[in-house]
């Protein structure tokens, strides 16, 4: 296989020695390791097509991978071929009139916005890893980010994908110029975590830069007060561009790091709330949000309107995960969603779970969406710690499910959460997901072992009706 | 939709009976879409409204409601209005349309808030698929990427993969102001298009807009203007500038949901008179005796595209959605025989291409007739996986539904 793939991409771009494969034995999820049988890095769309066709010809399973920043183990390749897409970095077209861009899957998220700012446009979905994560990875995971509250997740910004199916055939899903008719196969492809094939080109929607942006920082002496303020803001009819919460443990980690943003270290929680759009009316929105915070126990609300001040506030939020590196060498970043009204209660339960298992839980999350990120810094090399962390995570996930929520809002199921799928969905629904997958990948060769447990699939489990 | 709910729904029993006897079936809501999609095959209607028309769960603080698919848009609006909330779409057609039908057809809407589409607002579904299984996809939270997206698959599938029986929908809090505004462009239509359309395409404010034409009348520009008082004032001025009139020439037609407020007593839940339709009703109206088409083209081709439509379909009314680049064309029945429509479509392509910028028109028919064209192999496989017996809504199945026409610029 190495020779055949080398003949397509060149020997340099096929890795098979253990040392060369070591960088690819993990993604952003600590505690999980899996080594690919080999890794191949096509440099062009044509090479990518030839690689997948060669794998199809030989019936070889594979895992597509972007920057490897995923947090659910979705890009782990356990003894199968890993296809690295990070050489496919061309922005093919920017069409400012139609407000769209066509890109290769390895284009880094933040670069796309940087390169379209000159047209007064940007790519709205902004995961915290946006300085390194790729558009292809974002598509695979249906990535979110702080500004998805107003602007929507990746799916709302992907118009069309050219998709290389696992059998090597090419299909075009969606329509660059509007909602396509018929089954929404683009909608099913985005977020399919590499199990339906590989995006070779992605056409994304660009949105105009807002005329003005105001960012508020509200600090609270009670976490539950901050959570209630979130509901009050959303109920006011204002749709903030972002509405984020950080608890005291996270605030302290950030303020002790090089990403210090000037957050009040004695606050139990802070809310970062951003409103944007036409200049007219923004001050009024800010006043309503300030009032909502103060009425729910905020100690103070300050407003940043200058870009440098706003950037500093956001730097602290976006680098919070990195800042937690000061606390411990490993970090589990969990991702669950609960109804907004259940936030106060769920946050209290999470705190109790942390105490019960003797782990430190830091919360930094998309409060406006109810999208929690309970993070646990720990040392993955310590087996006892590792066991406690996983037990705590299991309890947290169950708490979120019991609260009417879900196990992932933006990071995907991957390997990490596959065990929760049959707690969330009944057997017929899981089987229906398998049936959908079989349309794209009947041999189950693309990203095997992810998202839906095989035992749930009647076809693959040998219980064909 | 938790794994703990395993009840078999009444509709599932009916579907299973049909599967056992190999009889075709189709979902039936309020019956307001009886002319949709062309000729019917022989299929038994399965009434969703009869079995699933209730509110299942509503926690206003979450801005999510779970309802039976047989609930109508009007009924939903009555429930949400009492809490200062709304379902952000008011689709074309009747207010008695069921939410199941709206999801099944991925119903579009005039002046959707924030450019939202039906597919963005359906968070979870309960569906009886073509194998008789009850599936509970998605959930009741606004962000959810757990598993493969069956919600997106079934939304817009036109009932060909199964019957939707329950939906969880995303709601929005009503903004402080949410006004319908209208400007009449007094120039001749062709001149008004040439002047106004490029500016509309280039504008960047959050302003859902429709450019509307009715034969024999001047062009009108409609907009949904939302936000606080200061923003509404500014957007109104912006709208006037786009239309080349003074702000005082912009008609404020009142709250966008004024008809609902006027006709519904939120406390009793009773409907009042429906004989006083609002301007929004006028926008949403779909005449029975007409062929209704949806056409799309790139924004950059808007001017030659809309000009070509206007020149070709002289007796039709149309609405052009500025942000989405979609045009809804309503051709009266006496001008809508298959032969005359074919002739007019050929002319449309010719006129558009002759004006130089049109690369592509794609279209779907809301009602009027079926148009033969192949669907993709993937679509066929999806159908086979979820309705292997081919008994589910057979009249909507390929090849009748879709038509994509590609016109290359000379």
Instruction: Report the mean per-residue pLDDT for chain B.
Output: 83
Residues whose CB is less than 8 angstroms from the CB of residue B354 and which lie 6 or more positions away in sequence, other chains included: none
Does B157 score more than 80 pLDDT? yes
> Which band of pLDDT confidence, cut at 50, 70 and 90, is reported for residue B340?
confident
Q: What is the pTM of this model?
A: 0.93
The CA distance from B275 to the nearest CA of chain A, in Å, is 30
Q: Which residues contact A441 (CB under 8 A, 6 or more apart)?
A: A165, A166, A195, A196, A197
Give percent above pLDDT 90 in chain B: 53
Q: Which residues pair with B86 in a beta bridge?
A: B172
- Between residues 121 and 140 of chain A, which touch chain B (CB distance below 8 Å)? none
pLDDT tens per residue across span B282-322: 788 777 777 788 888 888 889 999 999 999 999 899 999 98
Backbone angles phi, psi at B406, to 5 degrees: -115, 125
- CB-CB contact of A337 with A406 (8 Å): yes
Beta bridge partners of A375: A333, A362
Give pLDDT tens digits along chain A (465 positions): 999 999 999 999 999 999 999 999 999 988 889 999 999 999 999 999 999 999 999 999 999 999 999 999 999 999 999 999 999 999 999 999 999 999 999 999 999 999 999 999 999 999 989 999 999 999 999 999 999 999 999 999 999 999 999 999 999 999 888 776 678 999 999 999 999 999 999 999 999 999 999 999 999 999 999 999 999 999 999 999 999 999 999 999 999 999 999 999 999 999 999 999 999 999 999 999 999 999 999 999 999 989 999 999 999 998 898 898 888 999 988 999 999 999 999 999 999 999 999 999 999 999 999 999 999 999 988 999 999 999 999 999 999 999 999 999 999 999 999 999 999 999 999 999 999 999 999 999 999 999 999 888 887 776 544
Interface test with A, best of B145, B383, B404 (most A CBs within 10 A): B145
Task: With cut-offs at 50, 70 and 90, classify the pLDDT of residue B43.
Answer: confident
What is the Cα–Cα distance from A268 to B38, expressed in whole angstroms? 61
Chain B residues within an 8 Å CB radius of A432: 129, 133, 135, 137, 150, 386
pLDDT score of B263 more than 50: no
pLDDT recorded at residue B343? 84
Q: Which residues contact B20 (CB under 8 A, 6 or more apart)?
A: none
And the tokens for A139? 């598509």
Q: Check residue A178 and give its pLDDT.
A: 75
Q: Residues 193-232, chain A: which have Cβ within 8 Å of B?
A: 195-196, 208, 231
Strand stretches in A232-373, DSSP E: 242-247, 269-277, 298-304, 330-333, 336-337, 362-365, 371-372
Pairwise pLDDT comparison (A357 vs B330), residue with the higher score: A357
**Residues B361-383: pLDDT tens digits?**
666 666 655 444 446 789 889 99
Q: Percent of chain B at pLDDT above 70?
A: 81
Say how far apart CA A39 and CA B124 lie, in whole Å. Answer: 38
pLDDT at B352: 82
Q: Inform me whether the C-beta atom of residue A19 falls under 8 Å from chain B C-beta atoms.
A: no
Supply A458's token pair: 């009647």
**Chain B contacts of A334, Cβ < 8 Å?**
none
Cα nearest neighbour of B153 on chain A: A184
CA distance linking residue A209 with residue A122, whole number of Å:
6
CB contact under 8 A, B135 and A428: yes
Residue of A nearest to B144 (CA): A409
Angle, nearest 10°, between helix axes A343-357 and A223-235? 150
| 8 A C-beta contact, residue B165 and residue B124 | no
Look-up of token digits 């097509």: A49
- Calculate ∠ Cα B142-B169-A172, nearest 5°: 70
**pLDDT tens figures, B161-181:** 999 999 999 999 999 999 999
Q: CB count, 10 Å around CB of A57?
A: 11
Residues in chain B within 8 Å Cβ distance of A431: 133
- The pLDDT score that the predictor gives to residue B95 is 85
Strand B219-227 relative to strand B162-170, pairing = unpaired
As a dihedral over the C-alpha atoms of residue A314, residue A320, residue A321, residue A324, rounded to 10 degrees, the angle is: 160
User: Is residue B261 scored above 90 in pLDDT?
Assistant: no
Closest chain A C-alpha to B215 CA, distance in angstroms: 27
> CB within 8 A of A420, min separation 6: which ones?
A397, A401, A407, A413
Q: First CA to last CA across chain A, in angstroms?
A: 36
- The closest of B225, B240, B180, B201 to A208, measured between CA atoms, is B201
Alpha-carbon span A365 to A20, nearest angstrom = 36
Q: Is the peptide bond before B399 cis (omega within 30 degrees of 0)?
A: yes
Q: What is the DSSP letter of B397?
A: S
Which has more confidence, A282 or B36? A282
How far off is chain B from A115, nearest CA to CA, in Å?
Answer: 19
Banded model confidence at residue B109, pLDDT cuts 50, 70, 90:
confident
> ipTM of this model?
0.95
Q: How far apart are CA A207 and CA A113, in angstroms?
A: 10
**pLDDT category of residue B336 using cuts at 50, 70 and 90:** low
């Amino acid at each position: 296989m190495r020779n055949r793939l080398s003949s397509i991409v060149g020997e340099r771009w096929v890795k098979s020695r253990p040392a060369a494969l070591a960088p690819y034995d993990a993604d952003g999820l600590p505690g999980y390791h899996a080594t690919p049988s080999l890794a191949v890095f096509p440099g062009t769309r044509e090479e990518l097509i030839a690689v997948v066709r060669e794998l199809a010809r030989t019936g070889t399973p594979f895992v597509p991978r972007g920057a490897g920043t995923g947090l659910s183990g979705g890009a782990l390749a356990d003894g199968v071929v890993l296809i690295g897409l990070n050489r496919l970095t061309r922005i093919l077209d920017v069409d400012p009139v139609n407000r769209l861009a066509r890109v290769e899957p390895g284009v880094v998220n933040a670069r796309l916005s940087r390169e379209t700012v000159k047209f007064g446009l940007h790519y709205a979905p902004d995961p915290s890893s946006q300085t390194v994560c790729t558009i292809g990875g974002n598509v695979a995971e249906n990535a979110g980010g702080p500004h998805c509250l107003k602007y929507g997740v990746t799916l709302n910004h992907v118009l069309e994908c050219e998709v290389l199916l696992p059998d090597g055939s090419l299909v075009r899903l969606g329509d660059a110029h509007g909602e396509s008719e018929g089954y929404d196969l683009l909608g099913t492809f985005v977020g399919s975590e590499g199990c339906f094939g590989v995006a070779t080109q992605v056409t994304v929607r660009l949105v105009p830069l807002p005329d003005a942006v105001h960012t508020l920082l509200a600090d609270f002496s009670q976490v539950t007060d901050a959570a209630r303020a979130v509901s009050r803001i959303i109920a006011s009819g204002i749709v903030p561009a972002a509405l984020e919460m950080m608890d005291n443990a996270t605030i302290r980690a950030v303020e002790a790091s090089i990403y210090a943003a000037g957050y009040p270290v004695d606050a139990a929680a802070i809310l970062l709330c951003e409103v944007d759009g036409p200049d007219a009316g923004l001050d009024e929105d800010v006043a309503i949000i300030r009032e909502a915070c103060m009425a729910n126990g905020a100690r103070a609300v300050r407003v940043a309107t200058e870009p440098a001040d706003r950037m500093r506030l956001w730097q602290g939020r976006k680098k919070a995960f990195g800042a937690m590196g000061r606390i411990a060498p490993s970090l589990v970043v969990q991702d669950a969603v609960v109804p907004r009204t259940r936030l106060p209660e769920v946050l209290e339960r999470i705190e109790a779970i942390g105490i019960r298992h003797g782990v430190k839980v830091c919360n930094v999350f998309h409060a406006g969406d109810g999208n929690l990120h309970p993070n646990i810094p720990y040392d993955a090399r310590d087996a006892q710690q590792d066991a406690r962390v996983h037990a705590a995570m299991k309890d947290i996930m169950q708490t979120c499910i019991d609260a009417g929520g879900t196990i992932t809002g933006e990071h995907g199921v991957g390997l990490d959460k596959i065990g929760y799928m049959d707690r969330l969905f009944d057997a017929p629904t899981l089987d229906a997901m398998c049936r959908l997958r079989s349309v794209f990948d009947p041999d189950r060769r693309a990203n095997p072992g992810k998202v839906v447990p095989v035992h749930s699939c009647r076809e693959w489990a040998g219980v064909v009706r | 939709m938790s794994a703990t709910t395993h009840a078999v729904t009444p509709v599932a029993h009916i579907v299973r009976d049909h599967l056992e006897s190999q009889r075709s079936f189709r979902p039936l809501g309020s019956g307001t879409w009886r002319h949709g999609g062309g000729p019917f095959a022989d299929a038994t209607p399965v009434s969703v409204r009869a079995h699933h028309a209730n509110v299942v769960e509503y926690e206003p603080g979450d801005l999510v409601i779970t309802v039976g698919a047989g609930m109508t848009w009007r009924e939903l609006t009555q429930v949400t209005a009492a809490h200062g909330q709304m379902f952000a779409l008011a689709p074309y057609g009747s207010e008695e349309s069921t939410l199941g039908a709206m999801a099944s057809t991925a119903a579009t809407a005039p002046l959707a808030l924030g450019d939202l589409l039906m597919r963005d607002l359906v968070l979870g579904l309960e569906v009886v698929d073509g194998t008789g299984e009850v599936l509970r996809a998605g959930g009741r939270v606004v962000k959810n990427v757990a598993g493969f997206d069956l919600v997106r698959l079934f939304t817009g599938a036109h009932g060909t993969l199964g019957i939707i029986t329950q939906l969880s929908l995303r709601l929005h809090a009503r903004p402080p102001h949410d006004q319908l505004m209208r400007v009449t462009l007094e120039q001749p239509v062709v001149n008004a298009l040439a002047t106004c359309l490029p500016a509309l395409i280039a504008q960047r404010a959050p302003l859902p807009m429709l450019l509307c034409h009715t034969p024999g009348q001047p062009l009108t520009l409609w907009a949904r203007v939302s936000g606080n008082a200061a923003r509404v004032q500014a957007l109104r001025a912006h709208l006037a500038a786009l239309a080349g009139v003074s702000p005082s020439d912009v008609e404020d037609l009142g709250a966008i949901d004024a008809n609902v407020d006027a006709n519904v007593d939120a406390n009793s839940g009773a409907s009042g008179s429906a004989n006083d339709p609002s301007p929004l009703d006028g926008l949403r109206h779909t005449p029975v005796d007409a062929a209704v088409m949806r056409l799309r083209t790139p924004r950059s081709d808007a001017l030659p595209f809309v000009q070509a439509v206007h020149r070709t379909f002289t007796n039709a009314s149309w609405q052009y959605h500025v942000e989405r680049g979609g045009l809804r064309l309503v051709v009266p029945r006496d001008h809508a025989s298959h032969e005359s429509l074919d002739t007019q479509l050929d002319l449309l392509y010719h006129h558009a291409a002759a004006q130089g910028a049109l690369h592509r028109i794609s279209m779907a028919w809301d009602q009027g007739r079926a148009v033969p064209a192949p669907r993709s192999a993937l679509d066929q496989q999806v159908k086979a996986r979820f309705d292997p017996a081919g008994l589910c809504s057979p009249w909507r199945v390929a090849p009748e539904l879709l038509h994509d026409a590609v016109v290359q610029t000379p």
